Amino acid sequence: MESIRCITGAAARHAHHHRCSHYGIRHWALFLTSIPKAHQQRAADQPRRLYATKNTTHERATRKLNLAPRVAYQPTSATTWIISDGLVSADKEAIALAKGLSLPWTVKRVQWRQGLQWLPIPFKKLIMDYHHVMNRRQTDKLPWFLTGDPLAAPYPSFVLGSGTNAVPGLLQVSRMSGKASYSAHIHFPALPFIHFDQVFLQRHEVVVQLAALGLMKDQKNYFRINSTLNTITPKSLVLARTKALDQGLIPKSYFSDRNSSSIVAVLIGGPNEDCSHNTDRMVNRLARLIDVQGCRVLISFSQRTAANTKQAIAQLRERVQDDEKIFVYDPMAPHGTGTTSGGNEGNRGAVSWTGVPGPIGAAGFLERVNPYEAMLALADKIVVTADSVAMTNEALATGKPVYVLGGELARGKLKVFHRYLADSHATRAFRPGRIPIMPLTSNSKNGNGTSYGNDTADPLSYPGDHPAWNTSLAGQGPDEIKKLAERLRIMRESRITGRRVPEHIAEATC
């Protein structure tokens, strides 16, 4: 009898092993989760009872696995979702691409739960995969490791995200929709591109981050873009200028042509892992720009500008004490105090970002009261801190002279980015002269008949001759957005219908 029981048990184990071997990672995940239960029984139960309990646990888990349906193909609505973590520069790119798709769009603010944000992206992906293996059923509830807006059905036709912080929400929507929502990620996602339907990379990301992957750099579903996606055109600059004048966002003296001094827009970001700030050097150069070169300055802070930088700029403004020479705007200040320049008629404050939901924080805020684009329209020249790729590309989109402040402090991919722009003569280093510098305009000749004075001096950059400005990136943003939107629509349609991707899309390069 015992021998028959042993043979029967061995056959059952063999059949069970043969049946579970087809499950792969699911089987091993269930097996590992059942080990603690078996160890808890071992101290109190008999070996025979332990064997029965272990088998029962596996059988129940297997039945649960068989009954749990896979995520099937889900119908989608003709909408676009933008996964946001509240960062303005990332949201602006995704919103620009969403507008190019010509579908109703919604911002979904989703981010990692506090305490998990410090983990590297690959470890976060393992947490997501393990949760998906252990919870196969369809649910509209956010998983335990995410917080923010619900990602419930009906799912969109397209889901867009920019930056690594948008990766978890992007993957969650793609997974819960059964890949029905076509996912596109802007910038390097720090994950294999196979997890996304399309990835858009800028030149410096291809050169530095993608090339560092070695053999894995040959990933097929990425497309290189020339600059940050933006909607800046000559028409949009005119509209922004008119809006700022009508709403009193900038003092009226900056709209007057009576003052012949140049207007310089200074866009100040914040330090990051690839670029630090030297606040004293920054303030000294800005003071030289006002006191020595006689320029009028429009300064705009960003969402990441450090408190000590704001304080140093405020001290500079108090020393100058002339609102016609320096105007400072702080988008992070509470409502009613968005501008740090005092006494200007009609000045408006910004909406505080604390507790503001995604659509208002990312889109409505920028379109209603922020004079950022109006500053670009009014400026004769633009100065940008080296930490921000987005603001640099937006400044280049205007076609005006662009100077980089603190480019010598850039590292990694930012160093490659600014070196390429400087070598192509699209930007210059911001080093205003210590004495008034006037461009050379003389066409006289020396004794040998050789002309001199080529009008190449620049009062805002280091001494010496400078090549002509390269404005090839001016106004390319809208055209590039149209090209990328068309690519997304055709790629999604080809996947749904099963048709071959047209050659002009499959073989397209930037």
| Whether residue 182 is found in the same domain as residue 310 | no
CA separation for the pair 122, 195 (Å, rounded)? 12
Residues 279-298 have a mean pLDDT of 92
Instruction: Provide the pLDDT for residue 124.
Output: 87
| Whether residue 333 is found in the same domain as residue 409 | yes
Instruction: Provide the pLDDT for residue 75.
Output: 64
| Whether residue 189 is found in the same domain as residue 169 | yes
Q: How confident is the model at residue 138 (pLDDT cuts 50, 70, 90)?
A: low
Query: Which is higher by pLDDT, 501 or 305?
Result: 305
Assess contact for 100 and 484: CB atoms under 8 A: yes
Residues 368-392 have a mean pLDDT of 90
| pLDDT exceeds 70 at position 74 | no
Instruction: Provide the pLDDT for residue 472.
Output: 86
| pLDDT exceeds 90 at position 473 | no
Residues 129-153 have a mean pLDDT of 80
| Whether residue 219 is found in the same domain as residue 338 | no
Of the candidates 232, 437, 423, 251, the one whose C-alpha atom is nearest the C-alpha of residue 329 is 251
177 Cβ contact list (under 8 Å, min separation 6): 71, 74, 76, 153, 155
Instruction: Provide the pLDDT for residue 164.
Output: 84
| pLDDT exceeds 70 at position 495 | yes
Highest mean pLDDT among 71-75, 119-123, 278-282, 447-451: 278-282
| Whether residue 460 is found in the same domain as residue 334 | yes
Q: Is the dihedral of CA 505, 214, 424, 417 positive or negative?
A: positive
| Whether residue 308 is found in the same domain as residue 354 | yes
Residue 429's DSSP bridge partners are: 404
Q: How confident is the model at residue 304 (pLDDT cuts 50, 70, 90)?
A: confident
Query: Within 10 Å of residue 405's Cβ, how many Cβ atoms?
Result: 24
Assess contact for 84 and 94: CB atoms under 8 A: yes
CA separation for the pair 250, 191 (Å, rounded)? 43
Query: Which range has the worst mean pLDDT, 52-56, 337-341, 351-355?
Result: 351-355
| Whether residue 7 is found in the same domain as residue 102 | no
Of the candidates 359, 357, 330, 329, the one whose C-alpha atom is nearest the C-alpha of residue 254 is 329
| pLDDT exceeds 60 at position 92 | yes
Residues 117-146 have a mean pLDDT of 81
| pLDDT exceeds 50 at position 469 | yes
Q: Is 335 exposed, middle or buried (0-12, 13-18, 19+ CB in 10 A)?
A: exposed
Tally of structural domains, the chain: 3
Query: Within 10 Å of residue 64's Cβ, how many Cβ atoms?
Result: 12
Taking the whole predicted model, whether its pTM rises above 0.85 is answered as: no
Distances (CA, A) of 161 to 71, 108, 164, 354, 463: 22, 10, 8, 22, 43
- Whichever domain contains 285, its CATH number is 3.40.50.2000
Domain that holds residue 401: 234-443+450-474
CA separation for the pair 14, 22 (Å, rounded)? 13
Helix (H, G, I), strand (E, B) or coil at 47: helix
CA separation for the pair 47, 90 (Å, rounded)? 59
Instruction: Provide the pLDDT for residue 414.
Output: 93
Cis previous bond, 154, omega within 30: yes
Q: What is the pLDDT of residues 158-193, one digit of tens each?
A: 999 988 888 989 998 988 888 889 999 999 888 888
| Whether residue 225 is found in the same domain as residue 238 | no
364 Cβ contact list (under 8 Å, min separation 6): none
Helix (H, G, I), strand (E, B) or coil at 28: helix
| Whether residue 369 is found in the same domain as residue 469 | yes
Q: Is 46 exposed, middle or buried (0-12, 13-18, 19+ CB in 10 A)?
A: exposed
| Whether residue 287 is found in the same domain as residue 336 | yes
| pLDDT exceeds 80 at position 396 | yes
Instruction: Provide the pLDDT for residue 487.
Output: 92
Assess contact for 131 and 382: CB atoms under 8 A: no
CA separation for the pair 414, 404 (Å, rounded)? 12
| Whether residue 132 is found in the same domain as residue 213 | yes
| pLDDT exceeds 80 at position 342 | no
Strands 263-268 and 296-301: parallel
CA separation for the pair 28, 10 (Å, rounded)? 20
- Whichever domain contains 152, its CATH number is 3.40.50
Mean pLDDT of the residues in the chain = 77
| Whether residue 345 is found in the same domain as residue 463 | yes
Strands 182-186 and 198-202: parallel
Q: Which phi and psi (to 5°) does residue 372 adopt? A: -55, -50
CA separation for the pair 65, 100 (Å, rounded)? 42
Instruction: Provide the pLDDT for residue 303.
Output: 84
Instruction: Provide the pLDDT for residue 403.
Output: 96
CA separation for the pair 383, 428 (Å, rounded)? 9
Instruction: Provide the pLDDT for residue 423.
Output: 93
Percent of the chain at pLDDT exceeding 70: 71
CA separation for the pair 260, 302 (Å, rounded)? 29
Q: How confident is the model at residue 68 (pLDDT cuts 50, 70, 90)?
A: very low
